[in-house]
Amino acid sequence: MPDLSITIKCVPFYELSHDELYAMLALRQEVFIVEQNCPFLDADGKDQIALHLMIFDKDQQLVAYTRLFDKDVYYEGYTSIGRVVTSPKARGGGLGRVLMEKSIEKVLDLFGQAPIKIGAQKYLEKFYQSLGFQPTGNDYIEDGIPHTYMIYQPA
């Protein structure tokens, strides 16, 4: 069970504080570039059109994060969740599930009952299926890492 003393915040890019922006970029670099040994341009020009869902621990340290997109912004015909990341120091207690549940909830609340499309790292396919995402069968390689497209259909 994740620590219940977390704070969840979701804001557009231009409402991020300087400290939040720095923490977000540092966490994404720590995991996607350093830990996964995957040099890629994380600053892809989409942060400015996303909402940023952040989870802070009791010490107000950023421990989990996603980007949320309205319908047709990232994928035509779909809303989307991306840059799903949990800090290595906060893993193993269910925080990733909380992050995705809150992200799904926020996308449906803000953007309506449109289906949600994600590009999931292939090794996390079963995790995303446990949250209601279904694989499309369209696998691909992104930055040398196997991925698959998955769709969440709201009830």
Tens of pLDDT, residues 5-64: 899 999 999 999 999 999 999 999 999 989 888 888 889 999 999 999 999 999 999 999
Q: What is the pLDDT of residue 54?
A: 98
Cross-strand bridge partners of residue 42: none
Q: Is 1 within the bounds of a domain? A: no
Number of domains the chain is built from: 1
Range of the domain at 98: 7-152
Q: Is 21 within the bounds of a domain? A: yes
Q: What is the pLDDT of residue 40?
A: 85
Q: Is 2 within the bounds of a domain? A: no
Token pair of 18 as six digits? 């300087």
The arithmetic mean of pLDDT across residues 59-86, rounded, is 97
Residue 49 sits in a domain whose CATH number is 3.40.630.30
Q: Is 90 within the bounds of a domain? A: yes
Q: Can you tell me the distance from the alpha carbon of 73 to that of 29, in angstroms, rounded to the nearest whole number?
A: 24
pLDDT band at 129; cut points 50, 70, 90: very high
